[in-house]
Amino acid sequence: MRRILPVLPLLISTTWAAPPTDGRWENSIQQFEKQMKDGDSKPGSVLFIGSSSIRKWDLPKWFPGHTTINHGFGGSEVSDSLQFFDRIVKPLQPSMVLMYAGDNDIGKGKTADIVHTDFQSFAKRVRKDLAPGTKLAFIAIKPSIKRWSLSGEMARANALIAKDCAADDQLEYVDIWTPMLGQDGKPMPDLFIEDGLHLSDKGYAMWTAVVKKLLPPPSSTGNEALSGRSLLFHADFEDRSIDRFEPTDDTAWKLSEQSGNHFISLTKKRSKYTPPVRSPYNRALIKDLDVDSFVLDVKLQSTIPDYNHRDLCLFFGYQDNAHLYYVHLGKRTDDHANQIFIVNDEPRTKISTKTTAGIPWNDDWHHARIVRDAESGSIEVFYDDMQVPVMTATDKTFGAGRIGVGSFDDTGNFDEIKVFGAKSGG
């Protein structure tokens, strides 16, 4: 939390306008849904949601390098974002949600308590329906020239929400109120356009400077992740050999072929191998390759009948059977699934700082990538979309180690396995 502001003494009526019907926003909501369907709005992005202050915010201009989605619809209130949560928030599974709303609510007669209650309801949906740990940041209701007479109730709403945020690590209160006030204690006019309500470029510049501190750094993803790196290993299996891999159980792995394409297959759910501590049962490591900073690129296909714990795994930093990292790409997320794990002479331990609600496995081939920087400890995991990581972690326990593929206890296929080394000069 940045700062809780003192409550101003002004009070307003407790009456408010009736909530809008679905039809009022339907065109905007359908446009958002179309963008999601067309792939213009990518799951795992940072979602900005709320009223016209969000809608008018040119996110690509102000947040270059960040993958953002703008679901602002002018005139909306906190309750509207809650009403359409299942249509414009949940399907995206954003990595973070930033909300600006409450301005119109109080402008139409709602009290600070109602705004606060609606925000709490929205926060509950974030916890229930988005990935564990997904951050929700509330951008403080702004002090504006046009609505300065309502500033007391706005400040009270901000204070109530700021108190919630201070007590909950998953919530963040973004104080844009304080820097928008001049020496006379009133909103600075040059932060607004002529209507005294909506922000000017200078106003958005100020907001951006505050909000940018909350966002993760622009990700070194996509082809940029490979720039300047040397290819250390490549297996496409067209030499019809899997001899470059060392499996935990030779009988569980074989060379397979589909339509003339060759790949390595894990064919047994449980193999003869029993790990010394709780960790995956099936693994095939690349022989004679130890790396610290790297990019692992792999095509993979789950071949197990669908169920809630369907998974495949990628291994790195392997020291021995009791000391390694692995990524569990699981269909449903919990503390033991769909996470980045460390095995350090004890049962696997989750080290993820971010994940999603689960991997949408089907019977198709998919693309996965791990980007690891050993110096900083940064670990990023990508699945199909190479722009937004589905998992992140920071850990420097193990340095250089071996890399491999496998599963906790399922079956699958792996192809086009590539390992790129550290960037030049890195």
Is residue 4 domain-resident? no
The pLDDT profile of the chain, 426 residues, written as one tens digit per residue, is 334 333 333 333 333 333 444 578 899 999 999 888 887 777 778 999 999 999 999 998 898 878 899 999 989 999 999 999 999 999 888 889 999 999 999 999 999 999 999 999 999 999 998 887 889 999 999 999 999 999 999 999 999 999 999 999 899 999 999 999 999 999 999 999 999 999 999 999 999 999 988 887 665 444 556 656 788 999 989 899 999 999 999 999 999 998 788 999 999 988 788 899 999 989 999 999 999 999 999 999 999 999 998 999 999 999 999 999 999 999 999 999 999 999 999 999 999 999 999 999 999 899 999 999 999 999 999 998 877 899 999 999 999 999 999 999 999 999 999 998 865 444
Q: Are residues 254 and 389 in the same domain?
A: yes
Domain boundary among 184, 214, 244: 214
Whole-number Cα distances in Å, 376 to 217, 290, 327, 397: 13, 18, 18, 11
284 and 317 fall within a common domain: yes
pLDDT at res. 16: 36
- Residues 197 and 256 occupy one common structural domain: no
Q: What is the pLDDT of residue 218?
A: 60
CATH number assigned to the domain comprising residue 341: 2.60.120.200
Instruction: Identify the CA nearest to 269 among candidates 318, 238, 305.
Output: 305
Percentages (nearest 5) of helix, strand, coil residues in the chain: 25, 30, 45
304 in the same domain as 284: yes
Residue 282 sits in the same domain as residue 173: no
Q: What pLDDT is recorded for position 93?
A: 84
pLDDT at 64: 80
User: Which among 297, 295, 265, 313 has a CA at the least distance from the CA of 368?
Assistant: 297
CA pair distance 99, 93, nearest whole angstrom: 15
Q: How far is CA 65 from CA 58, 201, 218, 219, 422, in A?
A: 13, 19, 5, 7, 22
- The verdict on 361 and 289 lying in the same domain is yes
**117: enclosing H helix or E strand:** helix 112-129
Residues 29, 76: Cα–Cα separation, whole Å: 12
In a domain, 191, yes or no: yes
Is the residue at 296 inside a domain?
yes
pLDDT at 347: 96
Asked whether 211 and 205 are in contact (CB, 8 A), the reply is no
Residue 50 belongs to domain with CATH number: 3.40.50.1110
CA angle 337, 342, 343 (to 5 degrees): 105
Kindly give, in sequence order, each residue whose CB lies less than 8 Å from that of residue 23, ignoring residues fewer than 6 positions away: none
**Domain-ending residue, one of 159, 179, 214:** 214
- How much is the pLDDT for 376? 93
Together in a domain, 158 and 250 = no
- Please tell me whether residues 295 and 192 are part of one structural domain: no
- C-alpha span between 193 and 145 (Å, rounded): 10
Bridge-partner residues for 172, per DSSP?
137
Angle of helix 112-129 relative to helix 151-166, nearest 10 degrees, comes to: 30
185 shares its domain with 259: no
227-249 burial, b if ≥16 CB within 10 A, otherwise e? eebeebbebebeeeebebbbbbb
Quote the strand ranges of 61-185, DSSP E: 68-72, 96-100, 135-139, 171-174
C-beta of residue 94 within 8 angstroms of C-beta of residue 134: yes
Q: Is residue 94 part of a domain?
A: yes
Evaluate whether residue 295 is within a structural domain. Answer: yes
Q: Quote the domain boundaries for residue 240.
A: 222-423
The reply to whether 251 and 204 lie within a common domain is: no
Domain membership flag for residue 11: no
Do both 306 and 386 map to the same domain? yes
Does 314 share its domain with 386?
A: yes
Name the residue among 258, 304, 261, 262 with its Cα closest to residue 282. 304
Residue 378 pLDDT: 95
Predicted confidence at residue 9, as pLDDT, reads 36
pTM: 0.54
> Is residue 83, in this structure, part of any structural domain at all?
yes
**pLDDT value for 5:** 39
Beta bridge partners of 385: 383
Give Cα separations from 24 to 29, 49, 105, 145, 301 (angstroms): 10, 17, 16, 27, 44
Tell me the C-alpha distance between 144 and 46, whole Å.
26
- The residue among 185, 214, 243 that closes a domain is 214
User: How many independent structural domains does the chain possess?
Assistant: 2
Do 301 and 365 contact (CB within 8 A), yes or no? yes
Nearest to 140 by CA among 214, 65, 66: 214
The Cα 81–Cα 253 span in angstroms is 49
Question: What single string gives the DSSP state of each residue in 209-269?
Answer: HHHGGGSPPPP--GGGGTTTEEEEEEE--TTS--TTEEES-GGGEEEEEETTEEEEEE--S
Residue 13 placed within a domain: no
Q: How far is CA 252 from CA 282, 406, 425, in A?
A: 8, 10, 40
